[in-house]
Amino acid sequence: MYEYLKSLHLIFVITWFAGLFYIVRLFVYQIEAHDKPSPEKEILQKQYKLMAYRLWYIITWPSAILASFFAYWMLFFTPLGQSWLQMPWMHVKLGFVFLLYLYHLKCHQIFKQLQNDVVKHSTNFMRLWNEGATIILFAVVFLVILKNEINWIYGVIGIILFSVLIMLGFKFYKRIRTKNGE
């Protein structure tokens, strides 16, 4: 039973992250459309709102709920899951899952604003915001795969260095976009 639960959990974690990655991309497109002239603006906004709505409520939210449901079932109703709750790496992983939920809820707030034509963030902010889920994904995958073998100091340094690399990549990409007149 445990392996089935684990498989279902993993499937929904993957679709949850896919939804989070793509929704922020749609936020970028929605913000860009906001600055277009009519009628292009209205046509694009209508289409992006529909795409975002479907992605958010048909894929992303259900995936988050189902991933959490199967994780809860594994952790509290299987012997292996209960033993994992005693391990320090699982506490750290659950901390990152908590951060993922905060990220998800902030995305929900931005989603609602954009659905109501309220633009509070720039496209550059959204591109950078999109990396938040990437950092959480890397942290969780390394924690789950390495478990007790991970050296916490090297892990923290690695995540910080990875974050710095993402920021440098973002700045480089921004320069290229500015140079090309985008």
pLDDT of residue 34: 92
Residue 119 DSSP one-character state: -
The verdict on whether residue 106 carries a ligand-binding annotation is no
pLDDT of residue 61: 98
pLDDT of residue 151: 64
What total number of domains does the chain contain?
A: 1
Instruction: Give the relative orientation of helices 40-54 and 88-115 as an angle to the nearest 10 degrees.
Output: 150
At 80, give phi and psi (nearest 5°).
-65, -45
pLDDT (tens digit per residue) in 25-61: 999 999 999 989 999 999 999 999 999 999 999 999 9
Q: Which residues of the chain have pLDDT under 50?
A: none
Q: Which residue segment(s) compose the domain that 144 sits in?
A: 2-179
pTM of the prediction?
A: 0.83
The verdict on whether residue 36 carries a ligand-binding annotation is no
